[in-house]
Structure 1
Amino acid sequence: MITFILNNKTIKTSAHSGMTLLDFVRYEQRLTGTKIGCREGDCGACTVLVRTLENDTITYQSITSCISPLGNAHGKHIVTVEGTNLKNKLTTAQEAMKANYATQCGFCTPGFVVALTGFAISNSDKNYSKALDAISGNICRCTGYKSIEKAACQVVEKLENQEKNSFKWLIENGFIPEYFEGIPQRLKEIEADDLDQPKGKYVAGGTDLYVQQADNLIDNSVHLIQEKNFLKGIEINNGICNIGANSTVTDLWNHTELNSYFPNLKKHLKLVSSEQIRNMASFGGNLVNASPIGDMTIFFLALNSKITIINPAGKERQLPLKEFYQDYKTYDLKDGELIKTISFKLPTKDSYFNFEKVCKRTHLDIASVNSAINISLENEKIQEAHVSIGGVAAIPKYLHKTSAFLNGKSLTSEIIMEAGDILQNEISPISDVRGSSDYKRLLGRQLFFAHFTELFPKQFNLNDFVQHA
């Protein structure tokens, strides 16, 4: 029995755990403020908030309910736009949208209201930039985005005097209704043991599977693994970072210690999908999706990561991520096996990491080409180099020859340009909707050069490589 709190109502349902949360909310509960848009997690019209009972702090996150399995709501608090409503007056987010004329057709408005409400009650810094991050997964079809941004600014202004993690303050200032204050205790009281899991397709966040196979997953058995504790967590020991396969981009984003090792981590991660998807999608799912342009796969390849794989009997094996992929959507994973952890050496004071991505829009888009590099230097010589690139081969590509060539070389423009030529011989892009083969070759070259101009701006600029453009 799936048990959770939906707005102010405790739900116990025997509905199929593979049905989408969106369909349950709309068709079983008749809460139609949550809209059906793209059914791919791209438009944000179906945004809801979710809270897990991990501690007594405010830990609500926004997700796209159209690609979230209902079973993942088990033991949690789910909030739709109806659940944010106050009696006889607008909430702060609703009033901001109204005051700034931030709605035209109105279809997308509930999603924006929910996302802005989630921002208000999150642990995020309450500034304008973070507010825009919160609505990065919401799209206005009427091109009214500037007025929506003004509404977000008004919400930020209202939060200037917020008492940290205070439900009471948020309630008194019209951000959320009174019932929110009792949710932590109610979550403790509901019966939320592990769901009975039939044999079926493994599903974690579902952000890719529900785009590709929604109808099949809705009608057939799924084995939900999002809440499996042995797949969770981020640990740092003796210079090694171990990341559970169920961890999300948001978990990395919020990890203080990792941000100290990777000063530009949030800048890189902001290029990965939207806040709603970053809150949902698991790293394990990203790796086994095996997309040739998976952002985090390219990220981890450049870190020369290893993965630990576990079978149903609990036996584990480990292999380098760069040896995991065999052909298009084909990888070294046997029936019943799961990726358990991703591990890599942490950067030192002599190492440098960068991630680059080109796509048709800055955020919430699939890359035409993406690339990452991790190099360590000593006396202006490259001691170790790892380069990865996506969108130019049938698999997420670790550049073995390019990386090997750089090892032991001096850090000069001549060496980098020669490495760029080797890169061109390692890739084999095809023409598709994201660009022609020639275009992707050009992007691959330029992103490779961009790593060095970004990491060593005093030493290199793009003019140093213009003859190879």
Structure 2
Amino acid sequence: MIKFILNNKEVSTAMPPGTPVLDFVRYNQYLTGTKIGCREGDCGACTVLVGDLSTGELRYRTATSCLMPLGNAQGKHIVTIEGINMVELNPIQQAMADESATQCGFCTPGFVVSMAGFCLSKKAPTSQNAIAAVDGNICRCTGYKSIERAATRVAHLLEKRKTEEPVKFAANQAILPAYFTTIQERLQALSSSLNGELTNASPHAQRVGGGTDVYVQKHDEIKDASIRFLFDNTDLKGIRQDGNDCVIGPATTVTDLIESPLIQQYFPDFKHYTTLVSSTPIRNMATIGGNFINASPIGDFTIFFLALDATLTFSDGNLSRELPLRNLYQGYKMLDKRPEEYLEQIRFSLPAQNTQFNFEKVSKRTHLDIASVNSAINITVEDDLITHVRISAGGVAAIPKQLTKTAEFLTGKLLSEELIQKAISIAQTEIAPISDARGTEAYKRLLLGQLIKAHFIKLFPALEVEQLLKT
């Protein structure tokens, strides 16, 4: 039995735990304000808020309910547009109305829910942050300037919050319903009545983390499947430093990485990189381990961690083994992983003082799109001498690729424009892109060369490479 708080009432259901939350709220609870759009997590029409106590305090994040299994709602607070309605329009809805930020209205509930999530977060009340909060919501008819104005008005509502706890401030200022102040206590009581992890899965059950890809690929199959849920498994969570290494649990989400002080310290541009990857609701749900095991040739974080030469630990429940990430991929969607094994840990060496990192991505849309080609570099340079380098690339082979020959060539040589041009030529011998919807073979080869140039231009601006992008 799955139990959680839906808006202001506790619900329990024996429906298959793989049922998308979207279908449960619409067809079981008849809360039809949450809309069905793309069923791929792109449009944001089905956005809900998910509140939990995993950090020790009540925290809300947005999620696309079309990709969220009921099993991942266990013990949480799920908020639909109906859950933030008040007797009259709440101030978020009023801002949308005043700024003429809705036309057909189909997308409006998602925008309002996302802005409500912003009001419940600890992010600074700036227009920039308010607008970023709706980056997972698409409007097809209104135009975004009116929505941006509404988001700015919402940010102004929070200016007097100062250090007050966001949930209390939003309720006290009648931005959101007063019942929100009771949720933390109610979730604590609910948690004590649960048995923890859902245990009705068979030994051969499908393992599901955030579900952001598996529900796109296998929607009809997965909803009735036997599932072992990993998303809330505390043993598979966390980001910590172990000596010179960083250790990450595979159920760690992209948002967890963004908010990690350790990641911020060693990768100060990490948040910028992630703006190129999916949207806020998807980043809230997507797990790093899921990105690896999905085995997409263009998986953004697979490419990121290939450049860091990450090592994976797999377990079958009894025995564990280590495997370099670069050796995981045996062919298209083929892994060096037995069916009974699951990913237990991710480990990589933290960058040394002279080590620099960069990630680049090109896609048809700047945001909310998969890569045509992506690439990352991890490079150590001392007195213009390259002492260590790892380069990875996606979209240029049947598997996520570590460019080992290119790295070998660069190691031990002095940085120069000529060296980079030769390295690009070697990289071309390591790849085998195909023509598809994201570009022709020739285009992808050109892109990889340009991204390698971009790495060096970004990391070594003093190097005389101003002609690189022209050649």
Tell me the TM-score normalised to structure 1 length: 0.97
Question: Structure 1 pair 334/328, CA: closer, same or farther in 2 (3 Å)?
Answer: same
Amino acid corresponding to residue 362 of structure 2 in structure 1: V
Name the structure 2 match of 1:122: 121
Question: Structure 1 pair 252/460, CA: closer, same or farther in 2 (3 Å)?
Answer: farther
Query: Is the partner of 2:443 in helix, strand or coil?
Result: helix
* Cα distance in 1, alignment partners of residues 5 and 186 from structure 2: 8
* Cα distance in 1, alignment partners of residues 126 and 297 from structure 2: 35
* Cα distance in 1, alignment partners of residues 25 and 214 from structure 2: 20
Match of 1:446 among 444, 447, 450: 450
* Cα distance in 2, alignment partners of residues 266 and 462 from structure 1: 26
* Cα distance in 1, alignment partners of residues 326 and 229 from structure 2: 27
Displacement of 1:269 in angstroms is: 1.3
Query: Is the partner of 2:285 in helix, strand or coil?
Result: coil
Match of 1:333 among 324, 333, 337: 337
CA contact 2:133–2:280 (8 Å) conserved in 1: yes
Name the structure 1 match of 2:91: 92
Name the structure 1 match of 2:435: 431
Amino acid corresponding to residue 249 of structure 1 in structure 2: V
Name the structure 1 match of 2:63: 63
* Cα distance in 1, alignment partners of residues 108 and 415 from structure 2: 51
* Cα distance in 2, alignment partners of residues 461 and 3 from structure 1: 59
1:8-41 Cα offsets, whole Å, 9 max, x none, are 0101111110110000000000000000000000
Query: Is the partner of 1:66 in helix, strand or coil?
Result: coil
* Cα distance in 2, alignment partners of residues 460 and 4 from structure 1: 59
Q: Which moved more, 1:7-16 or 1:455-464?
A: 455-464
Name the structure 2 match of 1:290: 295
Displacement of 1:373 in angstroms is: 0.3
Number of aligned pairs?
A: 465
CA contact 1:311–1:337 (8 Å) conserved in 2: yes
1:313-347 Cα offsets, whole Å, 9 max, x none, are 2x111111011111000011101111111111111
Name the structure 1 match of 2:317: 312
Displacement of 1:385 in angstroms is: 0.3
* Cα distance in 1, alignment partners of residues 417 and 149 from structure 2: 45
* Cα distance in 2, alignment partners of residues 418 and 296 from structure 1: 27
Q: Which moved more, 1:280-289 or 1:88-97?
A: 88-97
Displacement of 1:107 in angstroms is: 0.3
CA contact 2:102–2:142 (8 Å) conserved in 1: no
Match of 1:360 among 364, 370, 374: 364
Name the structure 2 match of 1:375: 379
Displacement of 1:207 in angstroms is: 0.5
1:288-328 Cα offsets, whole Å, 9 max, x none, are 10000000000000111111111132x11111101111100
**Cα RMSD for the two superposed structures:** 1.2
Name the structure 2 match of 1:104: 103
Displacement of 1:463 in angstroms is: 1.4
Question: Structure 1 pair 460/40, CA: closer, same or farther in 2 (3 Å)?
Answer: farther
1:28-76 Cα offsets, whole Å, 9 max, x none, are 0000000000000000000000011235534100000001101110010
Residue 252 (structure 1) aligned with residue 257 (structure 2) = yes
Name the structure 2 match of 1:157: 156
Match of 2:402 among 398, 401, 414: 398
Name the structure 2 match of 1:29: 29
* Cα distance in 2, alignment partners of residues 197 and 111 from structure 1: 33
* Cα distance in 2, alignment partners of residues 300 and 461 from structure 1: 27
* Cα distance in 2, alignment partners of residues 358 and 108 from structure 1: 27
Residue 234 (structure 1) aligned with residue 239 (structure 2) = yes
* Cα distance in 2, alignment partners of residues 126 and 254 from structure 1: 17
Name the structure 2 match of 1:6: 6
Post-superposition, which runs of at least 4 consecutive aligned residues in structure 1 deviate over 4 A?
none
* Cα distance in 1, alignment partners of residues 103 and 280 from structure 2: 24
1:440-461 Cα offsets, whole Å, 9 max, x none, are 1110100010001111122244
CA contact 1:413–1:465 (8 Å) conserved in 2: no
Amino acid corresponding to residue 82 of structure 2 in structure 1: E
1:252-291 to 2 correspondences below 5 Å: 252-291=257-296
Match of 2:388 among 361, 371, 384: 384
Query: Is the partner of 1:67 in helix, strand or coil?
Result: coil
CA contact 1:104–1:144 (8 Å) conserved in 2: no
Query: Is the partner of 1:149 in helix, strand or coil?
Result: helix
* Cα distance in 2, alignment partners of residues 309 and 206 from structure 1: 20
Displacement of 1:129 in angstroms is: 2.0
Displacement of 1:219 in angstroms is: 2.1
* Cα distance in 2, alignment partners of residues 179 and 143 from structure 1: 32
Amino acid corresponding to residue 178 of structure 2 in structure 1: E
Name the structure 1 match of 2:350: 346
* Cα distance in 2, alignment partners of residues 371 and 155 from structure 1: 37
Amino acid corresponding to residue 47 of structure 2 in structure 1: T
* Cα distance in 1, alignment partners of residues 4 and 307 from structure 2: 40
CA contact 1:18–1:217 (8 Å) conserved in 2: yes
* Cα distance in 2, alignment partners of residues 70 and 147 from structure 1: 34
Name the structure 2 match of 1:192: 194
1:423-453 Cα offsets, whole Å, 9 max, x none, are 1111111000001111111101000100011
Query: Is the partner of 2:390 in helix, strand or coil?
Result: strand
Displacement of 1:422 in angstroms is: 0.3
CA contact 1:56–1:184 (8 Å) conserved in 2: no
* Cα distance in 1, alignment partners of residues 348 and 449 from structure 2: 26
Displacement of 1:174 in angstroms is: 2.5
Amino acid corresponding to residue 43 of structure 2 in structure 1: C
Name the structure 1 match of 2:132: 133
CA contact 2:168–2:181 (8 Å) conserved in 1: yes
CA contact 2:119–2:166 (8 Å) conserved in 1: no
* Cα distance in 1, alignment partners of residues 447 and 397 from structure 2: 13
CA contact 1:452–1:460 (8 Å) conserved in 2: no
Name the structure 2 match of 1:421: 425
Q: Gapped runs of 5+ residues in structure 1?
A: none
CA contact 1:58–1:122 (8 Å) conserved in 2: no
Displacement of 1:196 in angstroms is: 2.2
Tell me the TM-score normalised to structure 2 length: 0.97
Q: Which moved more, 1:343-352 or 1:240-249?
A: 343-352
